[in-house]
Amino acid sequence: MNEAAARNVVLVHAFETAGIGRSGWSDADALWASRAAAEVVGAEADTDRFIARRAELAAERLAERDRAVSRTLRAVTWRPWIGWALILIAFALGFATDYIGPAQRVNVLAFPLLALIAWNLVAYAVVAVRAVARLVSSPRRAFGPISGIVARLAHGVNEAAAAVTPDTPLAPFVRDWIRVSAPLTAARVARILHCSAFTFALGAIAALYLRGLAFEFRAGWESTFLGPTEVHRLLSLVLGPASRLSGIPIADPQHLETLQFGVGPGENAAPWLHLYALTIGLFVLLPRSVLGLGNSFLQRRWERALPLSLDDAYFQRLVRTFRGERAAVRVLPYSYQLAPQSALGLKEIATRAFGPKSEVSIAPTVAFGEEDTLPADLLPPAGLALAAPLFNLTATPEAENHGTFVAAVAKAVAPGTPVVALIDEGGFRQRFAGQAGRLEERRHAWRQMLATQNVEPVFVNLGDPDLAAAADALIAVLDRVTRAEEAL
């Protein structure tokens, strides 16, 4: 999925998971987007194409309704001119900061280009260390101080984040887009920095030669601690590759002795300038070119195919609707008999969360104390979109009973099947009507117990369910479960 398509998908995902009807996006809008996209791409289209086209249509409608959407999309869109401006500024700085020395004297031991070479060697070491770190551990897209500034300038994410209201879907969109686009942003920033380093060095060399046309530079050396022999060794180490490549010899110790500024005026600096310029070419221009081209390749790759996971519950619901596939949901009551009205509420929630072809089956109730030996037919061997242990909020959560049941269900389901606990709080609400504090205390107790099993709860009043809120909560939990599994 290319960059523009992925950006639209992340935007529409933020609006549709923020709560249908509470974000300026309704059930009718979602249905229209799915139907229109299916008509455009055709029934045989692949999943990515359908989701991308649907997001494009939905993003256009959202932008028409709310100017903040279009402003935010523009703000988070990469600004190529920032990169070109930084590259040109680097050239200008390199040209302007070149400094030979007083009275046009070139001290071959304290040549400013030596610092340029050393800085670039340190930069290569940092690049190598980060590359090795990404190979041995999960990759992290943390930017350094300079790269972070470039990313903020050219990506506009800070501007977008400051412009949106925190409680609107645009806030999670900006946050999610930063995460999704991180590989592309890293490649772009690295390319800009390598190209800027290249043009900085090129500017310094250009200034060196242009000034050499108008002034005569004299080369020599001076040192408190080094003699001609030590200076020859040092210069052979630094300028040796350029000397062998160009055929320009490095002065021997005897000749270097005559080049001390305390002894004489030195010699014409042209051969030394050529050696240093070629050394810059070998250790700065050539490596930076290779690194810049490598990141340009990565940038084009991510622009054409940005990695975007489509495995969470939200996308799976869209795909099932597009393909006309069913979603099997298995509800597993524990020490709790469902009323017919509650069973209907469960089916409605599943339909909104998994699509119109969801199928809800309710297993026989597992009695209190029988959680250690689950019936063989309690769960199908595979094919579940969700396994949902169901509890009554009126019960006090006990790890040795309720927790054991959840653990047994999680062990029994097929690998990859999400497990989410449903907590019916209808009876508790009736018994303690108007006591919001007690309701929250009991919810907290259930969250704590389920956290020991790494299972999240969804609280719902099955007797009088808010279907949209319950479905949104279930989708949000399923998304977190999927992301946690991907992180592992």
- 4-13 pLDDT, tens digit per residue, is 999 999 999 9
Mean pLDDT within 192-197? 96
Residue 162 has pLDDT above 60, yes or no: no
Q: What is the pLDDT of residues 325-349, one digit of tens each?
A: 788 899 999 998 888 888 888 888 8
- At 102, is the pLDDT very low, low, confident or very high (cuts 50, 70, 90)? low
* 298 and 204 part of one domain: yes
Residue 340: per-residue pLDDT: 84
Least confident of 129-138, 353-362, 370-379, 414-423: 129-138
Task: Give me the residue label for tokens 């398509």.
Answer: 5
Q: What is the pLDDT of residue 156?
A: 63
**Residue after which a domain boundary falls, among 270, 304, 338:** 304
Mean predicted confidence (pLDDT) in 74-95:
92
* pLDDT bucket at 208, cuts 50 / 70 / 90: confident
pLDDT band at 152 (very low <50, low <70, confident <90, very high): confident
Same domain for 20 and 119?
no
Q: Mark whether 190 and 232 lie in a shared domain.
A: yes
Q: Is residue 349 part of a domain?
A: yes
Task: Quickly state the pLDDT bin for 164 (edges 50, 70, 90).
Answer: low
48 and 306 Cβ atoms separated by less than 8 Å: no
Q: What is the pLDDT of residue 141?
A: 56
User: Is pLDDT above 70 for 82?
Assistant: yes
What is the average per-residue pLDDT within 272-300? 95
pLDDT band at 286 (very low <50, low <70, confident <90, very high): very high
| Domain shared by 246 and 288, yes or no | yes
Please check whether residue 200 lies inside any domain of the structure: yes
Q: Is 264 helix (H, G, I), strand (E, B) or coil?
A: coil
Asked whether residue 27 carries a pLDDT value surpassing 80, the answer given is: no
Residue 208 lies in a domain: yes
C-alpha atoms less than 13 angstroms from C-alpha of 29 in its C-beta half-sphere: 19
Q: pTM of the full predicted structure?
A: 0.78
**314 is a domain residue:** no
Give me the percent of the chain exceeding a pLDDT of 70.
93
Output the pLDDT for position 484. Answer: 60
| Shared domain check, 134 and 58 | no
Q: Are residues 342 and 294 in the same domain?
A: no
In this prediction, residue 408 carries a pLDDT of 92
Rounded Cα distance between 74 and 185, Å, is 16
Quote the number of domains for the chain: 3
Backbone phi, psi, residue 59, to 5°: -65, -40
Do 120 and 194 have their domain in common?
yes
Kindly state whether residue 70 falls inside one of the protein's structural domains.
no
Rounded-to-integer distance, Cα 286 and Cα 420, Å: 55
pLDDT at 19 over 90: no
Residue 203 — very low, low, confident or very high, per pLDDT cuts 50/70/90? very high
Query: Are 205 and 290 found together in one domain?
Result: yes
Asked if residue 355 and residue 225 are part of one domain, the reply reads no
Note the pLDDT tens digit of each residue in 40-55: 998 888 899 999 999 9
pLDDT for residue 487 is more than 60: no
Q: Which range among 70-74, 94-98, 197-201 has the greatest average pLDDT?
A: 197-201
Check if the beta carbon of residue 133 is closer than 8 Å to that of residue 127: no
Last residue of a domain, one of 12, 30, 65: 65
Kindly state whether residues 385 and 245 are assigned to the same domain: no
Percent of all residues in the chain with a pLDDT value above 90, rounded to a whole number: 44
Does residue 250 or residue 143 have the better pLDDT?
250
Give the residue numbers spanning the domain of 44: 3-65
- No. of helices (H) and no. of strands (E), the chain: 20, 8
Where b means 16+ CB within 10 Å and e means fewer, 426-465 reads: bbbbeebeeeeeebeebbeebeebbeebebbbbbbbbeeb
Q: Encoding tokens for residue 356?
A: 């119109």
CA distances from 159 to 41, 177, 187, 217 (A): 35, 14, 21, 49
Beta bridge partners of 327: 358
- Please tell me the predicted confidence (pLDDT) of residue 234: 92
Range of 103-117, 130-144, 283-297 with top mean pLDDT:
283-297
Residue ending a domain, among 304, 339, 373, is: 304
Q: Are residues 377 and 342 in the same domain?
A: yes
* Radius of gyration of the chain, Cα coordinates, nearest whole angstrom: 33
For β-strands 267-268 and 218-220, DSSP reports them as: antiparallel
pLDDT of residue 60: 95
> What's the rounded Cα separation, in Å, for the pair 264 and 219?
10
Q: Using one digit for the tens of pLDDT, what is the confidence trace for 249-267?
A: 999 999 999 999 888 888 9
pLDDT band (50, 70, 90) for residue 469:
confident
Q: What is the pLDDT of residue 304?
A: 94
pLDDT of residue 167: 74
| Confidence class for position 184, pLDDT limits 50, 70, 90 | very high
Tell me if 389 is assigned to some domain: yes
pLDDT value at 159 more than 60: no
